[in-house]
Amino acid sequence: MSGISERQALKIGVLISGGGSNLQAIIDAIRTDNLNIEIVKVISSRPDAYGLVRAQEAGIDTCSLNKELYANPALANELIASEFVRAEAEYIVMAGYMRKLGTEVLDVFPDRVINLHPALLPSFKGAHGIEDAFNAGVKLTGITIHFANAEYDKGPIIAQRAVAIEENDTLEMLTEKIHALEHELYPQVLRLLSEGKIAIDETRKVRIDG
Which residue numbers are catalytic?
117
Smallest CA-to-CA distance from 193 within 122, 161, 145, 151 is with: 145
Binds ligand GRF (CB under 6 A): choice among 13, 14, 18, 187: 18
Shorter beta-carbon distance to ligand GRF: residue 50 or 70: 50
Shorter beta-carbon distance to ligand GRF: residue 21 or 75: 21
Residue 21 DSSP code: H
Show the site string, 36-65: x = touches ligand GRF by CB under 6 A, - = not: ---------------x--------------
Binds ligand GRF (CB under 6 A): choice among 22, 44, 141, 149: 22
Nearest distance in Å: CB 5, ligand GRF:
34
Number of residues that make up the chain = 210
Binds ligand GRF (CB under 6 A): choice among 11, 19, 108, 125: 19
Closest residue to ligand GRF, judged by C-beta, is 96
Main-chain phi, psi angles of 92, to 5 degrees: -110, 130
To the nearest 10°, report the CA torsion of 111, 116, 149, 131.
170
37/17 Cα distance (integer angstroms) = 21
178/163 Cα distance (integer angstroms) = 7
Shorter beta-carbon distance to ligand GRF: residue 13 or 96: 96
Show the site string, 116-135: x = touches ligand GRF by CB under 6 A, - = not: xxx-----------------
Yes or no: say if 117 and 144 are a contact pair by the CB < 8 Å rule. yes
Strand order from edge to edge, sheet including 113-117: 62-64, 37-44, 10-16, 91-94, 113-117, 140-147, 157-164
Applying CB under 6 A, the span of 17-25, 29-37, 52-60, 103-111 interacting with ligand GRF comes to 17-25
Residue ranges that bind ligand GRF, judged by CB under 6 A: 16, 18-22, 51, 95-96, 116-118, 179, 182
